[in-house]
Amino acid sequence: MRLPHFAPLPASLPATVPFVGPETLERQRGAAFPARLGANENGFGPSPKAIEAMAQAAGEVWKYGDSTSHDLVHALAAHHRVTPAHILVGEGIDGLLGLTARLMLAPGDAVVTSDGAYPTFNYHVAGFGGVLHKVPYRNDAEDPAALTAMAREVGARLTYIANPDNPMGSWHEGDVIAAMLDELPPDSLLLLDEAYVEFAPDSAVPAISHDDPRVLRFRTFSKAYGMAGARIGYVIGHPDLIAGFERIRNHFGVNRVAQAGALAALGDQDWLVQVQGRVAAARNRIAAIAGECGMTALPSATNFVAVDTGRDGSHARAIVQGLAERGVFIRMPGVAPLDRCIRVSCAPEIELDLFAEGLPQVLSEF
């Protein structure tokens, strides 16, 4: 028997997994990672109030979640001082980026991003027939001027930038991001990924009107709020843009347990402040460990630190592998010259102790 054929676009694409998950790597090595420092998760965990709310909601998981995420949307609107019509809740930033690509792209439309930036965005663009155009990082940061110049050159429909950035942890001042809007071509949309914004200085947040139709801003509960496994985030934008998602989104894609947890997490800003302090301390610890090994930690406004190994991608890759063999999971950027670095997530002391023990052992073998 013959298999039914795929539609032309997916049939033309390779099977792709943007990130190999740590669970897959654990199965391959036959053991868990005692130090899980590679996925930019928040090892300090969510608010206890969020855990309690999710536990209570679990008893009602037989019900579908509210398809509008009404309570959470209204709480987010109050938090950001916008109307509920400015906000859409979705299955994390990854899911929302996929919806955006579906909503905005026709096959062949140009999309601009940075070479080495978030690969899941590229995956969605390819999946909906967009044509990617990439510019290099500049001084270990995304280059807003190069991005907008390329957008004008190719007539980009979408331009993507993360501020702060993954995988380098770098950031731009908010006025630099805001200035990009006036440099984009007509009918172009800036996708501003602010997944790590709660760890950034206030000056990194651009003063852009939420009614500006030239930008969508993506936020998440995965990072600072410690709910990566719940898969819940949101996008802020002009109400007419937000309303467009009602044409194509999965209306029951956000489960009620995640909604309850996110609502409670948003209401516990004291816990968020505690996490921000712990992350700052962990960044300092990672920098100290790197310095003791003759490496340089790059400035970071995220919950991870990019560490310059001082050599090249092959050397960094050997460090990643050597640490994995010792039960320490980290990652590295995938594009030169960024791949001279390793990337280490902030985590509790017990896990950073294992990193501090393992890194000099690995280096001593080279």
In this prediction, residues 196-216 reach a mean pLDDT of 97
Is the overall model pTM greater than 0.75, yes or no? Answer: yes
DSSP string for residues in 125-145:
HHHTT-EEEEE--BTTB--HH
- Of 59, 53, 58, which is closest to residue 72 (Cα–Cα)? 53
Q: Which two tokens stand for residue 150?
A: 């390329």
If you count them, how many residues does the chain have? 366
In this prediction, residues 87-103 reach a mean pLDDT of 97
For residue 248, the one-letter residue type is I
Question: Which residues, at least 6 apart from 56, have a Cβ–Cβ distance to it below 8 Å?
Answer: 260
Q: What is the mean pLDDT of the chain?
A: 97
Q: Give CA–CA dist 15/127, Å, rounded.
A: 11
Tens of pLDDT, residues 283-311: 999 999 999 999 999 999 999 999 999 99
- Of 251, 8, 231, 219, which is closest to residue 127 (Cα–Cα)? 8
CB of 39 closer than 8 Å to CB of 345: yes
Band the pLDDT of 366: cuts 50, 70, 90: confident
DSSP-derived letter for residue 59 is T
pLDDT at 19 over 90: no
CATH superfamily of 20-45+270-363: Aspartate Aminotransferase, domain 1 (3.90.1150.10)
Place of tokens 């172009």: 188
CATH number for 48-267 (one of 3.10.150.10, 3.40.1160.10, 3.40.640.10, 3.40.50.720): it is: 3.40.640.10
Q: Rounded to the nearest 5°, which phi and psi values hold at 79?
A: -65, -40
**353 exposed, middle or buried (CB, 10 Å; 0-12, 13-18, 19+)?**
middle
Tens of pLDDT, residues 240-257: 999 999 999 999 999 999
- Of 195, 182, 240, 250, which is closest to residue 213 (Cα–Cα)? 240
Share of the chain above pLDDT 90, in %: 95
pLDDT at 222 over 90: yes
CB of 301 closer than 8 Å to CB of 170: yes
- pLDDT for 1 equals 85
pLDDT at 20 over 90: no
For residue 87, the one-letter residue type is I
Band the pLDDT of 190: cuts 50, 70, 90: very high
- Of 74, 72, 99, which is closest to residue 85 (Cα–Cα)? 74
Q: What is the 3-state secondary structure (H, E, C) of 265-283?
A: HHHCHHHHHHHHHHHHHHH
pLDDT at 277 over 90: yes
- Residues forming a β-bridge with 161: 192
- Of 346, 347, 355, 352, which is closest to residue 304 (Cα–Cα)? 346
Q: At what angle do helices 22-29 and 313-325 cross, to 10 degrees?
A: 60
- pLDDT for 221 equals 98
**216 exposed, middle or buried (CB, 10 Å; 0-12, 13-18, 19+)?**
buried
Ranges of each domain in the chain: 20-45+270-363, 48-267
Band the pLDDT of 18: cuts 50, 70, 90: confident
In this prediction, residues 100-111 reach a mean pLDDT of 97
DSSP string for residues in 344-358:
EE---HHHHHHHHHH
- pLDDT for 2 equals 87
Share of the chain above pLDDT 70, in %: 100
Q: Give CA–CA dist 3/37, Å, rounded.
A: 41
DSSP-derived letter for residue 34 is S
In this prediction, residues 123-137 reach a mean pLDDT of 97
